[in-house]
Structure 1
């Protein structure tokens, strides 16, 4: 059996010859995706599926490829019946390979009318030509499609919360290999924790959407490159709208529509290879194009598109799901674009371009997730010595670009002591006296207040032993109408002892002067956190691996803000 590369150079090279087609066109051009070869032949396109298996998609034998070619034509005919012409065989006779030629059938192709590439929404966006009227017309067409799309028990089972969870977790599994290539570890972890938190917090809403009949057999791939505006495909029958279009072209009729007619919008290439990617909440379909409009730098058109859909469909519930499904859809685009890097034929320039596009989609996905966290906001990270609060606070500051304020650093600056110079005082003595502690918190509060007032989010790393200390900081944020999140770090005592003893052994690697012999005194002075609302308090056990602690915290914060 030929390898994928051998097949590419046998079948593809054969189909790049004009004589391989019934009408012997003057020119054949090729566009390759991670799952298909598309041959552009005058006014027709032939789409051939690659024999690949991505887990969620399996085209590995001819029977499957024929089945999914038929599915592609049938499903896409719901929205663009005049584009899809059918499925045609590709046959081989000796060494001669031809479309609809003599010999043995070796492959199948979806045959389509060729649409004007300049009228793709993606191209109109690049050229700054997409209008408000255009996106509103697209919204009306999609709303009309969703209204009549299939629903019911089978469709609901394919698009309910368990399926959403499966699709999302599958995305994460399939993109682990791209960490450090097209997605950073911070982006990956934030998106995993955000997605899981949203699904856990909003399970009731997802169930309600299912009962309301909002799960439909939809499109599944509604992005800007799959939508074409303005005019019919070539070779369309000359009746109905086709006759009107002919009259317009010949100057016999002049029409000045307020916006493009839905019938002149062609939406192609829906998901045929996996029903659970196509059968979904209608908000998931809408979010794909809304996300792509954001990607192209038109958040204004994105908002207008969603608003127009809500107006046309009456489905106000999509709004609460929009950022979640935008996150999911941007991640899917990042994943699919990353898959293109597996193509061995990419030039270095093409590889850099593809990687940059994938990175941009992953960044966009994370930006939606972070919208759920109020910004600016104050994060108080406290706890007894040895509980890992400084590590957590610093890592959170780096992860989310927060201004970091440390009590250890502030205290030593006030005492004119180098950060790594240790002052092993008795408990409550010297630079750890009540007066010095009061001054330290006062300086930190002034710095936090100033940063917050300028619009900068802040994380403060200190013990925050007393209710009064915590309250003064949260009151300062509240006076600016900003949220405060309190993180109380805890750990098993055996682990705390190990950490504190290690600090003495490796004193040059730490700023803190905390020691095990002081731990019990501080523990006795601790005032329990009872003044903070449950949805703004995270009690974080840091006993486990350090690499997991920040991830747990991020997940808990996401859960509380939803």
Structure 2
């Protein structure tokens, strides 16, 4: 069955057991998301890339189960489980039916949109207590996550590989990005690896590398009374194999991009104090340059998605990230 038929069914309010007044639909790079009055359902696109494979029903089921399991670490009561989409004997589709399985969806509780951190930043409604609570949730998560077994040399090499890949992607003439700037940023990162790569290796030696969230952005943090953090990067463990400071540097650059640099800085400072992590400022600056360039690469990838129409918006975002990276190189 084609995904278009599934999407058409899931757009209809009467397809859901609670009969919502309406269904909001969001299309992302890898999923279709359907929001009812109280719940959220996520349907994976049947796509395959170098870094993920949703091309089969079995693969999508495993990914849905993994998404629920991993996200319960930071949003225990939000992720309700997986729900089958079935083809019934009458030829119609049904959520949670007993007919022939045609797909699987992740089911979540719907969170208040105005309490997502990105919205709250733009509306000026983030309190000091909000920041303190989020900081504590993250510090506890990182402190009590078990270390992953990764050799110092392997950890350092992972950055060498990613920097090489990012350079190739951002240098592609189709994107018309400023080549001199791209070369300068990649050279700065390679210089860090040559001259101070031992700082990365030391993080692995100290057992700092964990199975983290993987996509810690303001739009994934909800400032309810007990903050929750959703949408971890479930489909590739390698992308979640991170130093907490790297992940928090990523959050800091995203907070800065939307106008609230102090929030990211405070969360990072809280973590360092709470877990007694004296991470060098030079390494934090490197992480921020690296993440900004990686985000630029992901932005240009969206222009290769046939479903994406506003290519200029993504290219403009890529240039914004490159400018951020340049500032981190110069000012740390």
- From 275, 279, 285, give the equivalent of 1:317: 279
1: CA distance, partners of 2:153 / 2:227: 28
Q: 1:160 to 1:97 in 2, by over 3 A?
A: same
Q: 1:276 to 1:151 in 2, by over 3 A?
A: same
2:155 is aligned with 1:195: no
Paired position in structure 2 for 1:107? 103
Equivalent residues of 2:297, 2:318 under 8 A apart:
yes
Paired position in structure 2 for 1:74? 69
Q: 1:41 to 1:371 in 2, by over 3 A?
A: same
Instruction: Indicate the SS of the match to 1:202.
Output: helix
2: CA distance, partners of 1:8 / 1:91: 13
Equivalent residues of 2:248, 2:264 under 8 A apart:
no
Equivalent residues of 1:69, 1:87 under 8 A apart:
yes
Instruction: Indicate the SS of the match to 1:51.
Output: coil
Equivalent residues of 2:152, 2:200 under 8 A apart:
no
Residue by residue, what CA displacement relative to the aligned partner does 1:191-250 show, whole Å, maximum 9, x if unpaired?
22122221222222122111111111111111111101024xxxxxxxxxxxxxxxxxxx
1: CA distance, partners of 2:176 / 2:28: 18
Q: 1:11 to 1:186 in 2, by over 3 A?
A: farther
Runs (4+) of structure 1 moved beyond 6 Å?
none
- Superposed, 1:379-394 pairs within 5 Å as none
Residue by residue, what CA displacement relative to the aligned partner does 1:240-273 show, whole Å, maximum 9, x if unpaired?
xxxxxxxxxxxxxxxxxxxxxxxx1111111111
Q: TM-score, normalised by structure 2?
A: 0.91
**Length, aligned pairs only:** 331
Quote how far apart the aligned CAs of 1:180 are: 5.6
Paired position in structure 1 for 2:319? 359
Paired position in structure 1 for 2:56? 61
Q: 1:158 to 1:47 in 2, by over 3 A?
A: farther
Residue by residue, what CA displacement relative to the aligned partner does 1:313-370 show, whole Å, maximum 9, x if unpaired?
21111533211111222223323333333344445xx444333333322322232233
- Superposed, 1:61-460 pairs within 5 Å as 61-93=56-88, 95-153=91-149, 160-177=155-172, 179=173, 181=175, 183-231=177-225, 264-317=226-279, 319-347=281-309, 350-371=310-331
Instruction: Indicate the SS of the match to 1:160.
Output: helix
Equivalent residues of 2:87, 2:102 under 8 A apart:
yes
Paired position in structure 2 for 1:434? none
Equivalent residues of 2:152, 2:202 under 8 A apart:
no
Equivalent residues of 1:22, 1:100 under 8 A apart:
no
Paired position in structure 1 for 2:15? 20
Residue by residue, what CA displacement relative to the aligned partner does 1:61-91 show, whole Å, maximum 9, x if unpaired?
2221111111111111111111111111111
Equivalent residues of 1:158, 1:280 under 8 A apart:
no
2: CA distance, partners of 1:186 / 1:83: 45
Residue by residue, what CA displacement relative to the aligned partner does 1:497-539 show, whole Å, maximum 9, x if unpaired?
xxxxxxxxxxxxxxxxxxxxxxxxxxxxxxxxxxxxxxxxxxx
Instruction: Indicate the SS of the match to 2:191.
Output: helix
Equivalent residues of 1:159, 1:280 under 8 A apart:
no
2: CA distance, partners of 1:275 / 1:159: 15
Quote how far apart the aligned CAs of 1:296 are: 1.3
Choose 1 or 2 for highest CA Rg: 1
Equivalent residues of 2:249, 2:264 under 8 A apart:
no
Query: What do you get for the CA RMSD once the two structures are aligned?
Result: 2.3
Equivalent residues of 2:153, 2:201 under 8 A apart:
no
Can you give the 5+ residue segments of structure 2 that lack an aligned partner in the other structure? none
1: CA distance, partners of 2:143 / 2:154: 16
Equivalent residues of 2:74, 2:230 under 8 A apart:
yes
> In terms of mean alpha carbon deviation, does 22-31 or 81-90 score higher?
22-31
Can you give the 5+ residue segments of structure 1 that lack an aligned partner in the other structure? 232-263, 373-562
1: CA distance, partners of 2:118 / 2:227: 14
Residue by residue, what CA displacement relative to the aligned partner does 1:384-430 show, whole Å, maximum 9, x if unpaired?
xxxxxxxxxxxxxxxxxxxxxxxxxxxxxxxxxxxxxxxxxxxxxxx
2: CA distance, partners of 1:89 / 1:324: 44
Paired position in structure 2 for 1:29? 24
1: CA distance, partners of 2:195 / 2:286: 12
Equivalent residues of 1:283, 1:318 under 8 A apart:
no
Q: TM-score, normalised by structure 1?
A: 0.55
